[in-house]
Amino acid sequence: MDNIWSWLTNLPFSTDWPPSEPSLTLTLANSSTKSILLKADRTAGSNTETLVTFSIILHGFHPSNPNKTLWLSNPCPLSAPIPPLLLQLLKEVIFLSPSPPLPSPPNLHHQTISSALSIPNEAPAFLNLILLCRLFWLCARDAPAEAGFLLFQNLDALTLDAALACKQAAGAFLSALGPDWELRFMRSLGYVLAKWLVLLELQRGGAPPLPRHLRGLSYAADSHGLLVLKAYVPVSAMQRLGSAVHAEDSAIRYTLAHQQLEAVVQLEYAICTRDPRFIRIEVRVDNIRVHVVRLGYKEDDDVEIEARHVPTRVRVLVGPELGLGYVTGPSLGRSTSNEEREIQSTRTAKGRVGKGGPELRVKARTCERERVRRWKWEQEADGCAGVYEGVACDRDDVACIGGSRKGLVVGRDEVAEGVTWRVGREMEGRVMTWRVGLKICVSYFGGKRNNHKGVCFESRFGEWMEEVELALVPTVN
């Protein structure tokens, strides 16, 4: 599948199209007797433009129909067929996402994909990734099981890893897509990766080491005064910490294999030039959201859904790029104090006064305050970067609520104060590269809570580091 981009860009012009060959084909997957083909047919267009229609063909699967059309594209201009073809594939991949159902495919525009296609060295991999996703859904929903088996036979870790090697293009695309369609697209992709990892583990008799691109997608952006980092990864693609006690129940294993970690970090920043001696840069947490979502459909509701990984450790790093000598800091704030909550309890006692006397009932109500510390948030420095680190203090407490809680939401009032840096005034107006990093640990606590005999425990972690261009222009005078 590595030559799809070159095959599309080298389709003959209308005057060079062989009259004896109205259709041109490219093999996507094949065995000795069967194959999945991508076909291009020249279509009559207007007087000024020739059109081409693409189709995906199953060859050799149906005795009565040796070439069955599985999918058909809209007509595309032969002069530039990739943008409209890619746009249609993306709409359909998003529409098939395991999320709340959509009445119709989303209305995307060419501007949505222009930023991804403007990165020449990654655009072919991005096209391969979207086509692989669409092929998966076609084989899963509209084709015989042997077609899906053939597709997975022709896929290996290197093929999928190469398709995911489009980090900048995918980040530009997701940033332009908007949060709603972004979430649905990433759940559609996450479902494909989760299924592929299950099959890979079954074929190899255990979890194999994964190439780095299979660890999910992430990107960062400077948006309206916020440094935003977003990361998505199937939990089964996260690295395992130490040994794990696996669940023997097949329903639990199925549920744990179909989960995705979705994380959003929003850091508010301010650049102050009030002091004539230096520029002051301050960053504080606006919002941290870490969720573990189930990748599935309504027809899977009879499967055990209480088993879930929950976040137990979150580490956010922010600071200038490594090796800068003209930046001082960071200056850290105080750590978050323990919260207090009010607990009310009522006790009732009853008894009789003397032998045969009247029955008396007494109620006593008490109210007390106690410190609750399910999560402990601290600050520290890592070189020139500031770090916010949150740890689940009471593992048993987190385990008990893990079945009903899908993740963690942290607001600006729950974490430590801001981190500041100072930069020389000669840097005013220039652009600095800032790092935004994230590390998350998730754990699954089994046992009686999931009606499973024995103890089940597993911890995994994912780590991301992104860069953002930050202009040193005042946001606070």
Q: Which of 297, 288, 328, 324 is nearest to 409 (CA)?
A: 288
- Please answer whether residues 433 and 460 qualify as being in contact, where contact means their C-beta atoms are separated by less than 8 angstroms: no
| Structural domains of the chain, count | 2
**361 within a domain of the structure (yes/no):** no
d(CA 21, CA 42): 10
Residue 102 exposed, middle or buried by CB count within 10 Å (0-12, 13-18, 19+): middle
Domain boundary among 194, 210, 226: 210
408/294 Cα distance (integer angstroms): 15
Rounded distance, CA 172 to CA 94, Å?
17
Beta bridge partners of 442: 311, 460
Residue 129 belongs to a domain: yes
User: Nearest to residue 269, comparing CAs of 432, 448, 146?
Assistant: 432
Domain match, 230 and 138 both: no
Domain membership flag for residue 358: no
182 and 230 inside one domain: no
Give the per-residue pLDDT at 449.
46
Residue with tokens 């009032």: 413
Q: Are residues 187 and 55 in the same domain?
A: yes
158 in the same domain as 203: yes
Closest CA to 419 of 319, 302, 291: 319
Same domain, 437 and 312: yes
In a domain, 342, yes or no: no
Shared domain for 274 and 200, answered yes or no, is no
Same domain, 186 and 157: yes
In a domain, 468, yes or no: yes
Judgement on whether residues 143 and 235 belong to the same structural domain of the protein: no
Domain of 423 in residue numbering reads as 216-336+371-477
pLDDT score recorded for residue 442:
92
Domain boundary (170, 194, 210) is at 210
Determine the pLDDT at residue 104. 85
Q: Are residues 274 and 329 in the same domain?
A: yes
To 10 degrees, the CA torsion angle through 146, 150, 151, 153? Answer: 130
CA distances from 296 to 10, 97, 170, 301 (A): 39, 9, 24, 8
Do residues 204 and 251 both lie within one domain? Answer: no
Say which residue the tokens 């599948």 belong to: 1
Instruction: Return the pLDDT at 318.
Output: 96
Same domain flag for 385 and 265: yes
**Amino acid found at 441:** C
Q: Specify if 132 maps to a domain.
A: yes
Q: What pLDDT score does 232 carry?
A: 96
Q: Tally the C-alpha atoms within 13 A of residue 434's C-alpha that lie toward its C-beta.
A: 27
Q: Enter the tokens of residue 249.
A: 């129940």
Residue by residue, pLDDT tens for the chain (477 residues) are 668 999 999 888 766 777 767 788 999 998 888 999 999 998 866 556 788 999 999 998 888 888 899 999 999 998 899 999 999 999 999 999 987 778 888 888 898 999 899 999 999 999 999 999 999 999 988 888 888 888 888 877 667 878 888 999 999 999 999 999 999 999 999 999 998 888 877 776 665 566 666 778 999 999 999 999 999 999 989 988 876 666 667 778 888 889 999 999 999 999 999 999 999 999 999 999 999 999 887 655 555 456 788 899 999 999 999 988 888 889 998 766 555 555 666 666 666 666 666 776 666 666 665 555 678 888 999 999 999 999 887 655 565 654 455 678 888 888 878 999 999 999 999 999 999 999 999 988 875 544 444 456 788 999 999 999 999 998 866
Specify the pairing of strand 457-471 against strand 359-372: unpaired
Judge whether 73 lies within some domain. Answer: yes
End-of-domain residue from the set 190, 210, 230:
210
Question: Are both 315 and 450 inside the same structural domain?
Answer: yes
The reply to whether 48 falls in a domain is yes
